[in-house]
Structure 1
Amino acid sequence: MAEKTRADMMEETRAKLIAAGRQAFAEKGFAAASMDDLTAAAGLTRGALYHNFGDKKGLLAAVVAQVDGEMAATAREAGRQADGAWAALLAEGAAYIELALDPEIQRIVLLDGPAFLGDPSQWPSQSACLEATRDAVTDLMRAGALKPVDIEAAARLLNGAALNSALWVAASEEPQKTLPKAVEAFKCLASGFLAD
């Protein structure tokens, strides 16, 4: 059996820390998660955390990127199952908003993420979501399905509406009751872009 390379070992260490961080942040929240507890859970030292992520906030950023990436993949899958490009765009937005009911996503991405990492629209994972929305809007515009509005503006408004709806659901006192209102409003806003 081949020996692990240094790069393999570094990637394994990062993966262990991200997994431990994800579990600790989901269960306890970022503020209450102890660096000693999460490094011990990974079987590593604080030094490994500092070397790979700089600090606990850097680890949170990596965990948020992973979870937000999974959210985007789930939303894309909902879009793939929809009938047509317009329905796909709506399905992706609605699916992203609905993920705000997941307790792990609520705590890590939608509550602790903005509180400790700042504006979610500036996160790399959200930039990827915006890019996907921009591509969808471009395709719909070329097909004549949308009003002739600025593509960048439309993409940013649609992406921001889904993100802010998810943030609202997660922070709501009654997420289950807030969700249908958020999804309905998102779809109503989005339909304003449709060509007559």
Structure 2
Amino acid sequence: MVSKTRAQMVEDTKAKLIKAARKAFATKGYQASSMDDFTAEAGLTRGALYHNFGDKKGLLQAVIDQIDAEMLVRQRAAQAEGKTPWEGFMNEGIAYIEMALEPEIQRIMLLDGPAVLGDPSQWPNQTACLRTSTQTIEALIEEGIVKPMDAEAAARLINGAALNAALWIAAADDPHAVHEKAVDAFRHLAGGLLRSEA
């Protein structure tokens, strides 16, 4: 039997804690989840949690980073299904908005995350998303699909619209009804960037 390296053991410990925290945050919410929930579920000590994440807030950030990476993969897949570059761009934004209907994403990413970690538009993952959106809009401008404008400004506004739509859906009494209205309005807003119908 091959023994694990220290690095592998650290990664295993982190993965167990993230999995346990993700389950607790999704079912109980951040406030009602205790560090004892995570450590008992993972079969680890509080010391392991403190050592790897600092505190419960650090663990929430790690869970959000994991979910965000999964969401990004799903958005890229939606983008790839577009028949045109514009359709791909729209698919990506709408996929993000639609994920706000999922209970785990609602609770962790859109309700507890902002309450604990602050404005999600300032999170590191949003910065990376903004860069990608800016590059996409630059390419759409070069192809003559989108009107000439400042690509970063357009990306910030489109990303902000998608984020705020998702936050609205997550906080709504009837998320599905809000989702339909939000997607429709998002399409109209984003369509204003087009030179002509694409």
TM bin, normalised by shorter chain, reads over 0.9
**CA–CA distance in structure 2, aligned partners of residues 73 and 133 of structure 1:** 15
- The one-letter code of the counterpart of 2:170 is A
Asked whether the 8 Å contact 2:135–2:151 carries over to 1, the reply is: no
- The one-letter code of the counterpart of 2:91 is A
More divergent stretch after superposition (129-138 vs 57-66): 129-138
Asked whether the 8 Å contact 1:65–1:124 carries over to 2, the reply is: no
Q: How many residues align?
A: 196
Task: Kindly state the Cα deviation for residue 128 of structure 1 after the two structures are TM-superposed.
Answer: 2.0
Residue in 2 that maps onto 1:93: 93
**CA–CA distance in structure 1, aligned partners of residues 50 and 148 of structure 2:** 49
Residue in 2 that maps onto 1:163: 163
Runs (4+) of structure 1 exceeding 2 A deviation are none
Residue in 2 that maps onto 1:78: 78
Residue in 2 that maps onto 1:63: 63
**CA–CA distance in structure 1, aligned partners of residues 161 and 95 of structure 2:** 13
**CA–CA distance in structure 1, aligned partners of residues 106 and 28 of structure 2:** 13
Task: Kindly state the Cα deviation for residue 129 of structure 1 after the two structures are TM-superposed.
Answer: 1.6
- The one-letter code of the counterpart of 1:72 is L
Residue in 2 that maps onto 1:184: 184
**What is the TM-score of this pair, normalised by structure 1?**
0.97
Task: Kindly state the Cα deviation for residue 2 of structure 1 after the two structures are TM-superposed.
Answer: 2.8
RMSD: 0.9
Residue in 1 that maps onto 2:26: 26
**CA–CA distance in structure 1, aligned partners of residues 132 and 163 of structure 2:** 14
**CA–CA distance in structure 2, aligned partners of residues 2 and 137 of structure 1:** 50
**CA–CA distance in structure 2, aligned partners of residues 25 and 70 of structure 1:** 17
Residue in 2 that maps onto 1:115: 115
- Secondary structure, counterpart of 1:144 in structure 2: coil
Task: Kindly state the Cα deviation for residue 131 of structure 1 after the two structures are TM-superposed.
Answer: 1.9
Give CA deviations for 1:85-116 in whole Å, capped at 9, x if unaligned: 10001111111100111000000000000000
Question: Structure 2: which 5+ residue stretches go unaligned?
Answer: none
Give CA deviations for 1:151-187 in whole Å, capped at 9, x if unaligned: 1101111111111111110111110100011011111
Identity %: 60
Residue in 2 that maps onto 1:104: 104
Question: Structure 1: which 5+ residue stretches go unaligned?
Answer: none
**What is the TM-score of this pair, normalised by structure 2?**
0.96
Task: Kindly state the Cα deviation for residue 43 of structure 1 after the two structures are TM-superposed.
Answer: 0.7
- Secondary structure, counterpart of 2:33 in structure 1: coil
**CA–CA distance in structure 1, aligned partners of residues 127 and 4 of structure 2:** 34
Residue in 1 that maps onto 2:3: 3
Residue in 1 that maps onto 2:40: 40
Task: Kindly state the Cα deviation for residue 127 of structure 1 after the two structures are TM-superposed.
Answer: 1.7
Give CA deviations for 1:55-88 in whole Å, capped at 9, x if unaligned: 0000001101111221121111111111111000
Task: Kindly state the Cα deviation for residue 150 of structure 1 after the two structures are TM-superposed.
Answer: 0.3
Residue in 1 that maps onto 2:16: 16
More divergent stretch after superposition (166-175 vs 67-76): 67-76
- The one-letter code of the counterpart of 1:170 is A
Task: Kindly state the Cα deviation for residue 4 of structure 1 after the two structures are TM-superposed.
Answer: 1.0
